[in-house]
Structure 1
Amino acid sequence: MLRITIIGGGPGGYTAAFAAAKRGASVTLIEAESLGGTCLNWGCIPTKTIKTSADAILLGKRFESLGLEQPTNFSINMKTVVNRKDSVINILRSGLEKKCSALKIKLIAGKASLLNENTVEVKLNDNTNTKIESDFIIIATGSRNLELKNFAFDQKNILSSDDMLNLESVPKRLCIVGGGVIGCEMAFIYAAFGSKVTIIEAQDRLLPLASVDLELSKLLQREAKKSGINVIVKQSVQSYEQNENGLKVTIKAIDNDNTTELESDTVLISVGRIPQTQGLNLEQVGVSTDERGWIKVNDYLESSIKNIYAIGDVLGPTKIMLAHVAAAEGLCVIKNIFGETEKMDYSVVPSAIFTMPEIGTVGITEQEAKAKGLEVKTTSVLMRELGKAHALGELPGLVKLVAETKTGRLLGANISGAYATELIAELTLALKMRASVKDIAQTIHAHPTLSEGIFEAALSLSEEI
């Protein structure tokens, strides 16, 4: 029986554990904090649970237009919001624990370190140590929030995204440093809760990601303005000081020496992640990392040491730091451990961004296609052109498709709007199946639905190609 030890109980770690146990391996899963990792405890699930409260407030403000005669001046009870978030986490974590038990996976709570390619030592929560021998080791320890110089997290004034999930009250003024996915999601949530939100982004647009089309960034910035969010781009934070009015934050232009000041009550630092590898003894065992500490792996996710694999966020931004990618990497590793030869395929990976409106992306954008010298055609269909969008009262957004000019094969898709994170699944499958926009256009889409935006965009492109 193969013995597999997995360090880290997030989506990558527990998915690998489940797959290995189902194949008959003896599996030990080590987690230093809480089963479920960042995704379940401080990331995907809690933020979306809290966002549901924000969505409810925004819907409530539309009650009168929907014919509901009820007061629309809603106030937020953060204690109830946080308690509901914790309840959802506990339910899902309990489900993971029960599945581990059913699959006879040995769960160990403690901090792991590598002794050699086959041995892991764990400092248990009672301060005793235990050693585990195994045939294969999978490192899935993830990442943690990056701190900025002069902005150390203090859980009071300078907060990480983790801290934002347990606030006892809504900040009157919230300054968010970083206009990436987490920063933008938090901005819309807390703007709905009543905060006066300012986003400071060093680059020239919100969501400055290769996977997000420029058209969607511009749309999101317009919607941020409508929501009362102040967006400041091409600026970086320098320092802050506390006074009787709160915090005075100094910011500096990226392309000159001009500085300005703004006042806030709370600052959220959301500028990136760093590897969660402290104490693992990677260097001593010989596991190679890059200059920033991210673990290096080959196409099969094996590290520089035979039989030691790594998956998930600990691989860093040269891969794709998403929960569903970590899970896919976990499945890939288990196949390789059991004798299959499978390279991890990153060619078709959807991304779901829970701003208001939502954004779903997959494949390449128009900008990426042009940078690669590809001959492509694109088209956009506005959500407001769809009957279902009007029925829902959800008008902002668009569907944008990128197709190869000669063949009509779909190369990429960006969707903004209500339920965009759900709608992107159809286009992810289309990309995986190497479908053309004609294939999509010839597929009957139900009416009235938001998916008709995909149909209309594909039909328009298929008529041009």
Structure 2
Amino acid sequence: MNYDLIVIGSGPGGYVAAIRASQLGMKTAIIEKESLGGICLNWGCIPTKALLKSAQVFEYIKHAADYGINVDVKGEPDFGAVVKRSRGVAEGMSKGVQFLMKKNKIDVIMGFGKLKGKGTVEVTAADGKKAEHTAKHIIVATGGRSRELPNLKQDGKKIIGYRQAMALPQQPKSMVVVGSGAIGIEFAYFYNAMGTKVTVVEFLDNIVPLEDEEVSKALNRTLKKQGINIMTSSTVESVDTSGDLCKVSVKTAKGTETLEAEIVLSAVGVTTNLEGIGLEEAGVKTDKGKVLVDDFYKTNVEGVYAIGDIVKGQALAHVASAEGIICVEKIAGQHVEPLNYNNIPGCTYCSPEVASVGYTEKAAREAGYELKIGRFPFSASGKASAAGAKDGFVKVIFDAKYGEFLGAHMIGNNVTEMIAEVVVARKLETTGHEIIKSVHPHPTMSEAIMEAAAEAYGEVIHL
């Protein structure tokens, strides 16, 4: 078949790009080797959130008395049922993408896609049969997978990645999580809430190391109170899996310590899926595991583009989707702006949640800005008190000279739903005073953004 556009990979970058292309009148096909929706919908963001919701419900039951509710039957997690629900949510989302493909008249070609000559993609089906399809434009959106360290090889049973962590046959009594980014912390929270003894090992000085230091330290304190053992400035040297329990050798500032656990979860990031897809044969340039592209995701080879985890920028679903839309609209000849990677929100869905966008305080100072910083604790929020969720705060950072909204960092209940306000504000070049004078509804958690901005300028009311 001949198309205007072929997309290789149906994750949140690929399927969104395909839909936008169809909307713009392109005859479009998408190639997927496994399940529509890619890792995000099937083994990443969506099913993880389903697991975390189950953990949150369990936490509610355990603390029901705090809300004046007497629960006669003691709540016990049914781990198999929790996993089953998560898988069901993922399957439903994948079927939703199938519907969107049909609705937008996009051809779905199941199989492994490989660049094969100018404007040609070879697809190998599950039965080994090969077929070739041509297109004027080809977008490569093959995503990433769990990164493996040389001394932490995953066997899928005792040393696992995020994919296995989402569907273990039974709940482990103990687990060591290596890495404290969003993936590691979310799983640490989930398994701890379910009753697993969890230790987190982080190489750097702070957990969630990309976050503002105040947020990292606050989350560390809260997770420790929840019962999670956290070891920072520590390195996993080796794992002995020969016995019933894994023996994890961890190097710390005080020496080497051996931890024992049923499962070791490697959460040290993702690596790109570039192997075997014909990049070298096509002459597409790569560097350090990333495809080199311009601001509109065009590679050095005419008619070939790349988006998502395999290119520059944050390896996040919403980034991939934005890149896919920009790429397709540029192909269609529309006037588009390059993506501002400094205005991408990041979220971690543990409890309390973490959300941020823009400069951290440290990064803003290093960039030479003179700062106005405001903080508002949820302990002073009426809505947070009523919800029984007083942990955490909002921290906002402004340029003292011009009032530019440099960044925001939040930790607390539901803050992942609040961060978009700051993303839009920064996109519109809103100043601190404009945030203060924008009336926020009361009582809400989101008032904390206005109050934090007011605190930065000495106008805060409720502190």
Kindly indicate whether the alpha-carbon contact (under 8 Å) linking 1:143 and 1:276 is maintained by their aligned counterparts in 2: yes
Deviations 1:228-255 (A, max 9, x none): 00000111111122465511111113x6
Kindly indicate whether the alpha-carbon contact (under 8 Å) linking 1:117 and 1:308 is maintained by their aligned counterparts in 2: no
Query: Residues of 1 paired with 2:70 and 2:163: CA distance?
Result: 38
Query: Residues of 2 paired with 1:16 and 1:363: CA distance?
Result: 26
- Give the Å deviation of 1:344: 3.0
Query: Residues of 2 paired with 1:326 and 1:60: CA distance?
Result: 37
TM-score, normalization by structure 1: 0.96
Query: Residues of 2 paired with 1:225 and 1:72: CA distance?
Result: 28
Structure 2 residue ranges without an equivalent (≥5): none
Structure 1 residue ranges without an equivalent (≥5): none
Q: Could you tell me which residue of structure 2 aligns to residue 274 of structure 1?
A: 271
Q: Could you tell me which residue of structure 2 aligns to residue 187 of structure 1?
A: 188
Q: Could you tell me which residue of structure 1 aligns to residue 387 of structure 2?
A: 392
Deviations 1:93-125 (A, max 9, x none): 111111111211000110011112300000012
Deviations 1:227-286 (A, max 9, x none): 100000111111122465511111113x68x32111111100010111111111111110
Q: Could you tell me which residue of structure 2 aligns to residue 409 of structure 1?
A: 404
Q: Find out whether 1:327 has 2:326 as its counterpart.
A: no
Q: Could you tell me which residue of structure 2 aligns to residue 339 of structure 1?
A: 333
Q: Could you tell me which residue of structure 2 aligns to residue 229 of structure 1?
A: 228
Query: Residues of 2 paired with 1:372 and 1:126: CA distance?
Result: 55
Q: Could you tell me which residue of structure 1 aligns to residue 441 of structure 2?
A: 446
TM-score, normalization by structure 2: 0.96
- Give the Å deviation of 1:463: 3.5
Query: Residues of 1 paired with 2:453 and 2:198: CA distance?
Result: 37
CA RMSD of the aligned region, Å?
A: 1.6
Deviations 1:364-407 (A, max 9, x none): 11111001111111111111111111111011110000001012
Give the partner amino acid of 2:324: G
Deviations 1:138-165 (A, max 9, x none): 0000011111223222221111011011
Kindly indicate whether the alpha-carbon contact (under 8 Å) linking 2:376 and 2:455 is maintained by their aligned counterparts in 1: no
Q: Could you tell me which residue of structure 2 aligns to residue 55 of structure 1?
A: 56
Alignment of 1:54-453 (within 5 A): 54-71=55-72, 73-209=74-210, 212-242=211-241, 246-253=245-252, 258-290=255-287, 292-315=288-311, 318-342=312-336, 343-453=338-448
Give the partner amino acid of 1:272: G
Give the partner amino acid of 1:372: A
Deviations 1:395-436 (A, max 9, x none): 111000000101222111011100000011111111111111
Deviations 1:199-246 (A, max 9, x none): 00000010111xx11000000000111110000011111112246551
- Give the Å deviation of 1:339: 1.6
Name the SS of the counterpart of 1:370 in structure 2.
helix
Give the partner amino acid of 1:344: L
User: Aligned pairs, how many?
Assistant: 458
Query: Residues of 1 paired with 2:342 and 2:259: CA distance?
Result: 42
Give the partner amino acid of 2:291: I
Deviations 1:315-341 (A, max 9, x none): 1xx411110010000000111111235
Kindly indicate whether the alpha-carbon contact (under 8 Å) linking 2:43 and 2:90 is maintained by their aligned counterparts in 1: no
Percent of aligned pairs sharing the same letter: 38
